[in-house]
């Protein structure tokens, strides 16, 4: 299926670059946990807005439809679980939400920005600025202290060294690992490694945290630890998208979206408990 590219590519790049300039750096001193996402003019703009998104993989002469008309809005501060069986399209959806891949057709607006036709460099900048990724396998750099791992996204963003270190320390404290900054990943438990990965995702103050099976490699206890951390971040106003195939994990989210054969088949919200 041809891409729906009506607007010239150059215009998309210019739009994206302008929007990125407008969104330069939050205040460096507020805490990643207590800091509430910016208010004001962005308030009514959803973080995620997908309209009739299709993704079809081409395997030689065979077309594999992975997403078949997904429309979805996620507002700032929502905690959403995306569930589905293996092969239902979760990873494809996450790759699109995370700007790691683009739809075959349909529209994706990230934080109000239409990502169609944006070049790879600008997309990379968008990812770095708006999205904090947490993966099943932690993806920390081995033999590198935790705090340096957390600093990494800020180095790509060109943040000065001292500020980088301070914000990384603050993020480490926010995930409860202020006393583990000098430990290498191998010197940490799985749960602690994943919390370092969450600190790394938080350090840029992203518009959303995108976590793909974040507890998939953890024992029950460490998994619960990571889920508690997500709950705290959510309570502090963070936007979290959690991809999982486990009901118990999804039960922590306020909204559960179910995907089957590349389509959303259920989208339900759970009221906030008052006890």
Which residues sit at the interface with ligand ADP, rule CB under 6 A? 57, 59, 64, 66, 84, 86-92
Nearer to Mg ion, 90 or 116 (CB): 90
Minimum distance from CB of 267 to Mg ion (Å)? 19
Helix axes 146-156, 161-174, angle to 10 degrees: 130
Question: DSSP secondary-structure letter at 188?
Answer: S
Minimum distance from CB of 257 to ligand ADP (Å)? 12
CA distances from 210 to 64, 78, 201 (A): 25, 12, 9
Q: For residues 129 and 107, give the distance between their C-alpha atoms in angstroms, rounded to a whole number.
A: 20
Nearer to ligand ADP, 17 or 91 (CB): 91
Choose from Mg ion, ligand ADP, none: what does 178 bind? Cβ within 5-8 Å by kind: none
Nearer to ligand ADP, 66 or 188 (CB): 66
Minimum distance from CB of 97 to Mg ion (Å)? 13
Minimum distance from CB of 227 to ligand ADP (Å)? 20
Asked if 237 and 75 count as a contact pair (C-beta separation under 8 A), the reply is no
Nearer to ligand ADP, 87 or 178 (CB): 87
Contacts of 146 (CB under 8 A, 6+ apart): 140, 172, 177, 180, 181, 182, 183, 184, 185, 188, 196, 199
Which letter, b or e, does each residue of 226-244 get, where b requires 16 or more Cβ atoms within 10 Å of its Cβ? bbebbeebbebebbbbbbb
Q: For residues 227 and 215, give the distance between their C-alpha atoms in angstroms, rounded to a whole number.
A: 8
Nearer to ligand ADP, 93 or 177 (CB): 93
Choose from ligand ADP, Mg ion, none: what does 59 bind? Cβ within 5-8 Å by kind: ligand ADP
**Residue 113 host element (H or E):** strand 113-114
Length of the chain counted residue by residue: 275
Applying CB under 5 A, the span of 3-11, 45-53, 56-64, 91-99 interacting with Mg ion comes to 91-99
By the rule CB under 5 A, 91 interacts with Mg ion: yes
Minimum distance from CB of 70 to ligand ADP (Å)? 11
Choose from Mg ion, ligand ADP, none: what does 156 bind? Cβ within 5-8 Å by kind: none
Minimum distance from CB of 67 to ligand ADP (Å)? 8
User: Count residues contacting Mg ion (CB under 5 A)?
Assistant: 2
């Amino acid at each position: 299926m041809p891409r729906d590219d009506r607007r010239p590519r150059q215009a998309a790049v210019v739009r994206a670059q302008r929007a990125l300039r407008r969104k330069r750096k939050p205040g460096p001193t507020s805490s990643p946990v207590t800091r509430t996402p910016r208010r004001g003019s962005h308030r009514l703009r959803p973080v995620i807005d997908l309209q009739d998104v299709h993704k079809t993989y081409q395997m030689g002469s065979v077309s594999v439809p992975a997403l078949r008309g997904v429309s979805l809005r996620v507002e700032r501060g929502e905690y959403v679980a995306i569930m589905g069986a293996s092969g239902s399209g979760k990873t494809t959806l996450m790759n699109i939400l995370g700007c790691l891949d683009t739809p075959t057709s349909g529209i994706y607006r990230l934080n109000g920005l239409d990502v169609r036709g944006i070049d790879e460099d600008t997309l990379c900048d968008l990812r770095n600025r708006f999205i904090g990724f947490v993966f099943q396998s932690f993806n920390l750099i081995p033999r590198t202290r935790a705090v340096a791992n957390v600093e990494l996204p800020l180095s790509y963003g060109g943040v000065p060294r001292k500020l980088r270190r301070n914000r990384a320390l603050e993020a480490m404290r926010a995930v409860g690992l202020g006393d583990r900054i000098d430990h290498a990943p191998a010197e940490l438990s799985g749960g602690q490694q994943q919390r370092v990965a969450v600190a790394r995702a938080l350090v840029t103050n992203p518009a959303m945290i995108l976590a793909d099976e974040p507890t998939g490699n953890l024992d029950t206890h460490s998994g619960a630890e990571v889920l508690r951390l997500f709950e705290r971040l959510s309570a502090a106003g963070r936007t979290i998208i959690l991809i999982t195939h486990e009901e118990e994990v999804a039960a922590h989210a306020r909204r559960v979206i179910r995907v089957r054969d590349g389509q959303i088949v259920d989208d339900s919200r759970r009221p906030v408990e008052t006890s």
